[in-house]
Amino acid sequence: MTLDFLGTLQRTHKCGELRVEQDGQDVVLMGWVNRRRDHGNLIFLDLRDRTGITQVVSDIEIAGPAHAKAEAARSEFVVAVKGRVRKRGEGLENPNMATGQIEVVVKELLLLNEAKTPPFSPSEDAIANEEVRLKYRYLDLRREQMQKNFLLRHNVTRAIREYLSNDGFLEIETPFMTRSTPEGARDYLVPSRVHQGEFYALPQSPQIFKQILMISGFDRYFQVARCFRDEDLRADRQPEFTQIDLEMTFPQQEMVFRTVEGFLGAAFKTAGITLPAGPFLQMSYDDAIRKYGIDKPDMRLPAMVELSDDLDPAQRETLKIEQKLPILGFIIPKAGGLSGTERKKLLSEVRTGFGESGLDLLDTERLKTSEAFAPLATLITQKLEATPEDLIVVVTPKLGTPEMWNYDRQWIYKRVGALRLQLAQKFADKHKLFEQTGTANDFKFLWVTDFPMYEWDEETKTWNAAHHPFTSPHEDDIKSGALFNDKGSVRALAYDVVLNGTELGSGSIRIHRQDVQAEIFRSLGMSDEEAKQRFGFFLEALEYGTPPHGGIALGIDRIAMILAGASSLREVIAFPKTAKAIDLMVDAPSPATEQQMKELHLKIAPRS
Ligand code: ASP
């Protein structure tokens, strides 16, 4: 096929722009053939670019040579059309298209490039399987939904940049090739050619650098920062992802919160959603666990309710419930009214899920039928504020509890919290609380504060930092000595921002004193030697007049995903990796050449 040259031709309009107002105007459009319908002497080409689609009509009577080209054109060919805008005839308008009132009648058609028959058509709503989409990502990204997602993502990032810039934050870049930053994942390493046997690490976050920028007096920093973490992937994880990362000097927690609320408000506004004025809800970690059984509560669903004091010892005994452990209830709205068989099936499903854990369900429907227990059923219904439409779930510990309950009482709360989420998913069609209606109501934000500083690792019998080790403990817990003699009780000045049960970001007020930082390293089982070797430069920097500082980082990919109503981060990352950390389009990772390996002083060890 002979292709045409572009020459000096320029577009006058984009494919989504023309309206009846342009009726009779001569225009030049360029784009891809979205669809082609051949009626012999009339050929319709739907011409597509980022802005939309215009129907182009080629009439053999009007332009013979152009018509021959329209005959040759196929889906995804790139064409230029010179033609005249014409109002569509009565009844031929398409109200579903922004340009549906008009069409463009071809005078001249240039075939700028041909296209192989694509493995899937970007114009079709039926989506190809994900592997094919990722391999042919350039075609996948042509799809209208993807173009929308990236426009949204761009607008969100831009709004955040603008908000923070106006709020006195400076955008400063920090290096990609650096030393390990401890965020709890494995590092990606880059071997050094010049320094044999040495490696750079890609940053898991700009954490240390942003703290150093505070030491350097920049007062307020932000960055749209790429972070690299080698960890097992899930739908909401990618090996490289983007954070909106910020840090400020002389902060109170609330100052960080107000900043984040401000920029999220601006970001949501660009997506057409006006968040209510005023601060987000705030809850301590302990409360979150007690009421929701998780540190990232989904506030769209009702909380758990502690029913422990509503059953007296005699009732517990009759019902074979452990005397001392908590009894927790919750409702799943509108999921009630189950038939006898359905209820039994559900009860048995949940009981199977409990396995050997020692948890059981209290069947409130059955309680109602017993004279002695009917009042208890009524009391539970009232406490849970359940209507007859709702499903009531009450979880009890059986007599004779497993050992493990003795050391982690929270376990029961967490297990019931997980059941709450699982049943909410199961009955999502009934309660409809997860459906997006396009209003601020769909988005329930929350600050979770006062996380524990340490987590006990039962296997290694050691305390681990629950966050990165630069997080400051509460001043009170340093003063009281708890940091040294009661680690389990130490609270961190750490906070998470949570949206609809997803952790959007986390941050903390940092340690700004060298002595406290050194102590934290020590308390995490790091010898002074090791701390010096890994973080010596940072400990030293802390000694040169470090101001109190703190900050946070939020996942932009996650924000974009939620706003786009997408179910995976891959829908809002242009070139993402699969669950096995492969880029299917460029086929990475890939082996290095012998020459490269030699230069890098590397050898692959045989598989053991
Ligand atoms: N560096 C932390 C993270 O990536 C965020 C922060 O503490 O600011 O999660």
- DSSP SS3 for 163: helix
Query: Measured in angstroms, how far is the CA atom of residue 106 from the centroid of ligand 1?
Result: 56
In whole angstroms, give the CA distance from residue 206 to residue 212.
10
Q: Mean pLDDT check: name the lowest of 171-175, 384-388, 532-536.
A: 532-536
Cα of 551 from ligand 1 centre, angstroms: 8
Cα 359 to Cα 427: distance, rounded to the nearest angstrom = 22
Please determine, for residue 236, whether its predicted confidence score (pLDDT) is greater than 90. Answer: no
Strands 199-201 and 220-228: unpaired
Three-state SS sequence of 261-273: HHHHHHHHHHCCC
Q: For the chain, how big is the Rg over CA atoms in Å?
A: 30
Task: Name the helix (H) or strand (E) containing 469.
Answer: none
| pLDDT for the residue numbered 559 | 96
* Strand-strand pairing, 102-113 and 52-59: parallel
Distance between CA atoms of 507 and 492, rounded to whole angstroms?
11
Q: How far, in Å, is the centroid of ligand 1 from the Cα of 198?
A: 26
C-alpha distances in angstroms, 372 versus 204, 312, 385?
Answer: 59, 13, 22
Ligand 1 atom closest to the CA of 204, numbered from 1:
4
CA of 225 relative to ligand 1 center, distance in Å? 11
Pocket test for ligand 1, best of 178, 207, 257, 509 (most atoms within 8 A of CB): 207
- Please state the atom number of ligand 1 nearest to the C-alpha of residue 210: 8
What is the model's pLDDT at position 443?
95
Average pLDDT across the chain, whole number: 94
pLDDT (average), residues 194-218: 97
CA 516-498-502 angle, 5° bins: 115
Distance 544 CA to ligand 1 centre (A): 23
Shortest-distance Cα residue to atom 4 of ligand 1: 205
Distance between Cα 511 and ligand 1 center (Å): 14
Model confidence pLDDT, tens digit, residues 479-528: 898 888 888 899 999 999 999 999 999 999 999 999 999 889 888 888 99
Torsion of CA 512, 515, 516, 517, to 10 degrees: 70
Measured in whole angstroms, how far is the alpha carbon of residue 205 from the centre of its chain? 16
Which of 180, 205, 223, 556 for mutating ligand 1's site (highest number of atoms within 8 Å of CB)? 205
Q: For the residues 37-61, what does the mean pLDDT come to?
A: 97
Rounded to the nearest angstrom, the distance between the alpha carbon of 22 and the centre of ligand 1 is: 52
Q: Band of the pLDDT at 438, cuts 50, 70, 90?
A: confident
- Residue pair 288/303 in contact by the 8 Å Cβ criterion: no
Exposed/middle/buried for residue 604 (C-beta within 10 Å: 0-12, 13-18, 19+): exposed
Q: Return d(Cα 343, Cα 248) in angstroms, integer.
A: 54
Strand locations in 437-484 (E): 445-449, 454-457, 462-465
- 207 CA to centre of ligand 1 in angstroms: 6
Q: What is the pTM of this model?
A: 0.93
Closest ligand 1 atom, CA of 247? Answer: 8
Distance 27 CA to ligand 1 centre (A): 51
Ligand 1 atom nearest to 206, measured from its CA: 1
Q: Is residue 404's pLDDT more than 60?
A: no
Average pLDDT, integer, range 243-261: 98
Residue 68 reports pLDDT greater than 80 = yes
Q: Ligand 1 atom closest to Cα of 227? A: 4
Query: Is residue 126's pLDDT more than 90?
Result: no
- Cβ–Cβ < 8 Å for 551, 256: yes
Ligand 1 cavity residues, CB under 6 Å: 183, 205, 207, 468, 506-508, 551-553
**d(C-alpha 488, C-alpha 285), whole Å:** 14
Ligand 1 center–CA 302 separation, angstroms: 30
- C-alpha separations of 252 from 211, 495, 508 in Å: 16, 12, 10
pLDDT tens, residue by residue, 325-377: 899 999 999 999 899 999 999 999 999 999 888 899 999 999 999 999 999 99
What does the pLDDT average to over 568-575?
Answer: 96
Mean pLDDT calculated for residue range 261-289: 96
Mean pLDDT of 245-252: 98
Mean pLDDT of 437-457: 93
pLDDT at residue 436, as a whole number: 86
Nearest CA to ligand 1 atom 8: 552
The residue whose CA is least distant from atom 7 of ligand 1 is 507
CB 557 within 8 A of CB 149: no
Beta bridge partners of 49: 52
Residues 6+ apart with CB under 8 A from 566: 149, 560, 572
pLDDT in tens, 411-426: 899 999 999 999 999 9
